[in-house]
Amino acid sequence: MTELDATRAYYDTVAEDYAARVPGLFAEDVAGRALIGAFAEEVRADGGLPVADLGCGPGHVTAHLAGLGLSVHGVDVSPRMVDLARRRHPELRFETGTMDALGLPDGGLGGIVAWWSILHTPPDRLPVLFAEFRRVLAPGGRLLLGFHAGNGEPYVSEKRAGGYAYAIHLLSPDRVVGQLEEAGFALTARLTTPGARWPQVCLLARAAGA
């Protein structure tokens, strides 16, 4: 079983509990929501092209983005999460998929949000994701990432569900910024907050070409 398979199986198993807990944590994240607000304002100012919420889970961030006036759809690797998102937010579009193969046309998006979802990807695989993000973003398109900070080492959860655990990669912010630049992004904002267990980092970047 690959790490992606294990992550999918884990979230399929814990989807109901996750969906009951995480939206409340998001509502308490004042700083994070402020950066999402800045992202939305920039996308609207650039013309309001569609936005993708990657690793959308039960759809709470997708719905928040829609409430900020964006045309947005959600993508998640877990079919159970997608099912929950569709039931909770029937007015929005949600699809099952992976971040390294989005199945979207080149340059069609005005923005991408990956809110605490790239952290399940090993650091040396992130360039593949960032290249795919750059492919589907229009020139000048916006990218917003959130992740736990560290030195790149994985933390494997001791909490198992259905026999599956998941790995969180504590990513080096400087390395992530370097990988983004190599993929054709320019950093426009960086926010670091203490977090309950690890430092939390949010990066806002812009695709080259505008």
3-class SS at 170? coil
In this prediction, residue 5 carries a pLDDT of 85
Q: 41-79 b/e with 16+ CB inside 10 Å = b? A: ebbeebeebbbbbbbbbbbbbbbbbbebebbbbbbbbbe
User: How long, in residues, is the chain?
Assistant: 210
Crossing angle of helices 79-88/3-28, nearest 10°? 30
| Range(s) of the domain holding residue 145 | 3-207
Number of domains in the chain: 1
pLDDT per residue, tens digit, the chain (210 aa), is 687 888 898 899 889 999 999 999 999 999 999 999 999 999 999 999 999 999 999 999 999 999 999 999 999 999 999 999 999 999 999 999 999 999 999 999 999 999 999 999 999 999 999 999 999 999 999 999 999 999 877 776 655 555 666 678 999 999 999 999 999 999 999 999 998 889 999 999 999 986
3-class SS at 186? strand
Dig out the tokens for 93 from the structure: 């579009």
CATH number of the domain residue 82 falls in: 3.40.50.150
Q: What is the DSSP string of 146-159?
A: EEEBSSS-EEE-S-
